[in-house]
Amino acid sequence: MAKAVRTALFGALLSCVAGAVQAADYTLSINTALVQQDPLYKGLEEFKAAVEKRTAGKVAVRLFPASQLGKDEDLLEQARAGAPVAVVVDGGRLAVFVKEFGVLGAPYVAEGYDGIRKVVTSPLFEGWSEKLRKASGHQVLSFNWWQGERHLLTNKPVKQPADLAGVRMRTPGAPVWMETIRAMGATPTPLPWSEVYTALQQQVIDGAEAQDPASYGARLYEVTKYLTKTGHINLITGIVTSAAWFDKLPAEYRQILREEALKAGDSASRGTEASLVEFENQMKAKGMQIVEIDVTPFRQATAPVYEKLGYADLHKEVEALVRR
């Protein structure tokens, strides 16, 4: 879609929202690639309800699932320009502004939600967030929105990195993701998430890597045979908005947004934890093979990614946080 057309559609959507929330003093439109059935989307609904209740409707939150407002990168640019928008985004996409965020998407950086939460609620992370405000004009509301560990989805069995030779694997285009998939043995192929199903169906790509809720929501069990549980990336995301817009809010509202984002992120992440077995059972019932493997060869193969991308020292800091 041409940029001018995307901009026009974006403006039209926001105009509709503005017309519907005239009673509110401020409106925040949140864009996410997630579908409404995703546990994290349920958390966004909780966030919306809590913010609107605590501000007596003076701050309205509008949710746009399935990337209705456009790509994450486009929304980040809108936020930089001061638009009242936010996006649920991973650290890899923020690393172009502040490099440290990229380590959140590095391979095997932490296990499960409890491990990664220690990092994204730490003073170390707050320092990165402050750097982000200065570098790009983005405000992190909270970064504790866990989407699960990412696994491989292919049409052939995978037990070790050598099995991925020549496999065109869809992954987001951020350097840390690309290097991780390359180190695992596959050929990283960046594509928008919305195009993955068709690309697999038409054999433009040979596989994808994703967390269970997203894989199920996108019906990838229809176009792949194997889900191999590598857990190579622990996908933590956050709600990121415009610092310029955020700073115009009364102090009370700024505090409410951050408090409720943290609460809803915890709720959504626990919901994700509770849903993983059921998502895998449903995919298995639809014919997909769920394969448990020894991930040691993948851990070893991806270990050099930290050094290659300049994260070796930061990795040590993050490991220390996780061990606490």
Per-residue model confidence (pLDDT) at position 23: 81
Buried b (16+ CB within 10 A) or exposed e, 7-21: eeebeebbeebeeeb
Q: Are 209 and 233 in contact (CB under 8 A)?
A: yes
Is the pLDDT score of 11 beyond 80?
Answer: no
Q: What is the CA radius of gyration of the chain?
A: 19
**Least confident among 7-16, 111-120, 143-152, 177-186:** 7-16
Determine contact, residues 185/165, Cβ cutoff 8 Å. yes
Give the contacts of 65 (CB within 8 A, at least 6 positions apart): 32, 34, 35, 36, 41
Tokens (6 digits) for 28: 């925040």
Q: How far apart are CA 268 and CA 101, in angstroms?
A: 21
pLDDT tens by residue, 201-222: 999 999 999 999 999 999 999 9
Task: Give the length of the chain.
Answer: 324
Q: Given a cut of 80, is residue 14 above it in pLDDT?
A: no
What pLDDT does residue 324 have? 86
Q: What is the pLDDT of residues 26-35, one digit of tens each?
A: 999 999 999 8
- Please state, in angstroms and rounded to a whole number, the distance separating the CA atoms of residues 140 and 138: 7
pLDDT at 183 over 50: yes
SS3 199: helix
Res 10 pLDDT > 70: no
Does residue 182 register a pLDDT over 80? yes
Give the pLDDT score at 1.
46
Percent above pLDDT 70 for the chain: 93
Q: What residue ranges define each of the domains in the chain, with the CATH number in brackets?
A: 3-90+128-144+237-273 (3.40.190.170), 151-233+278-323 (3.40.190.170)
Task: Give dist(CA 127, CA 240) in Å, integer.
Answer: 15
**pLDDT tens digits, one per residue of 132-177:** 999 999 999 999 999 999 999 999 999 999 999 999 999 998 899 9
Separation between Cα atoms, residue 72 and residue 67, nearest integer Å: 8
